[in-house]
Amino acid sequence: MTQPVADLSQLMHESQISEVLDRLDRELVGLRPVKQRIREIAAYLVISRLRQGLGLVAERPVLHMAFTGSPGTGKTTVAMRMATILHRLGYIRREHLVVASRDDLVGQYIGHTAPKTKEVLKRAMGGVLFIDEAYSLYRAENERDYGQETIEILLQVMENQREDLVVILAGYKDRMEQFFNLNPGMRSRIAHHIEFPDYTLEELLEIGKLMLQAQNYEMDEEALSAFREYLERRMRLPGFANARSVRNAIDRFKLRQAYRLFTKGGQVSAEDLRRIVADDIYQSSVFRTPLPEEGEHAP
């Protein structure tokens, strides 16, 4: 008797999952463990779809996820690519990502929270709901806080409507761990926990170069050296947010370059308009801000 077979090559071709994963590689510098986990999840979903086609799967895989790590480590970008993967494999109806925070979900008075939460859920249905700083939904120190109501609604939807909505919770690792400890029902509904590491100095430099290239700017060797010094200092100061801080820094470099050219006046070449010079970087307040003592860590 001939065994039924499934065509993996055809599914990969039709869904173009490899292209999505390759795009993620191009979009994000570093993050090797994250990319590997996404590839593993994608492979699992492809094989689950094949098993389902042969009648070997009784129920849909649990797809809710938790992304933990510092700000600016690519969590939202990965969530967007995951929405694409899920849609192309038929696990969600729409290639659709809704990003929400506590302010979008939790009300400020009795009767306000449920409508806010349900409105966000309505917009996200059929796609992916990405909740940033999810731990902020629960504030144990405030007995009058309404975040618990949002959590209870989310728990119900994550269980009863998991075939029409994938929820991704994101935030700092230690705070998310505390959140899950205080809300064990939420932890039990999460199938995949992915940790996003901070970027190294070299990776941040590469990210900065790619950002400049995409915007048709460039730095000479002296400016690149200044940029390295800037990052070395900025990484030790409070509020550092990885790639987000790099993007903000480059925006300020561009402002200083524009003001330098504006005040100089006269003719300006295309090379002048492209080039960020060292002085555009050294004017940053980062070079005038005292660094923490050795052994101290930026909060």
Q: Which of the four pLDDT bands, split at 50, 70 and 90, describes residue 2?
A: low
Residue 9 has pLDDT above 90, yes or no: no
Residue 37 has pLDDT above 80, yes or no: yes
Residue 184 has pLDDT above 50, yes or no: yes
The pLDDT tens digits for 80-123 are 999 999 999 989 999 999 999 999 999 887 778 899 999 999 99
The string of DSSP codes covering 214-272 is HTT-EE-HHHHHHHHHHHHHHTTSTT--HHHHHHHHHHHHHHHHHHHHHHH-S---HHH
How is residue 165 written in tokens? 């909505």
How is residue 120 written in tokens? 């966000």
Given this model, what pLDDT does residue 138 score? 83
What's the rounded mean pLDDT across residues 31-56? 89
In whole numbers, what is the pLDDT of the chain averaged over residues? 90
Phi then psi dihedrals of residue 98, to 5 deg: -110, 125
Q: What separation in angstroms does the CA of 161 have from each of 63, 64, 87, 217, 297?
A: 12, 11, 16, 47, 43
Q: Which of the four pLDDT bands, split at 50, 70 and 90, describes residue 142?
A: low
Other beta carbons less than 10 A from residue 193's beta carbon: 16
Distance CA 245, CA 254 (A): 14
How is residue 215 written in tokens? 């915007």
Residue 196 belongs to what H/E stretch?
strand 192-196
- DSSP for residue 138: -
* 245 Cβ contact partners less than 8 Å away, ≥ 6 residues apart: 72, 234, 239
Given this model, what pLDDT does residue 27 score? 86
Residue 35 has pLDDT above 50, yes or no: yes
Q: CATH 1.10.8.60: which residues of the chain? A: 201-288
Phi then psi dihedrals of residue 168, to 5 deg: -115, 120
Going by CATH, does the domain composed of 8-196 fall within 3.40.50.300?
Answer: yes
- Report which of residues 252 and 52 the model is more confident about: 252
In terms of Cα–Cα distance, which of 166, 196, 276 is closest to 33?
A: 196
Given this model, what pLDDT does residue 143 score? 63
In terms of Cα–Cα distance, which of 250, 247, 243 is closest to 204?
A: 243
What's the rounded mean pLDDT across residues 166-171? 96
CATH class held by domain 201-288 = mainly alpha
- Among 146-155, 206-215, 277-286, the range scoring the smallest mean pLDDT is 146-155
Phi then psi dihedrals of residue 23, to 5 deg: -65, -40
Q: CATH 3.40.50.300: which residues of the chain? A: 8-196
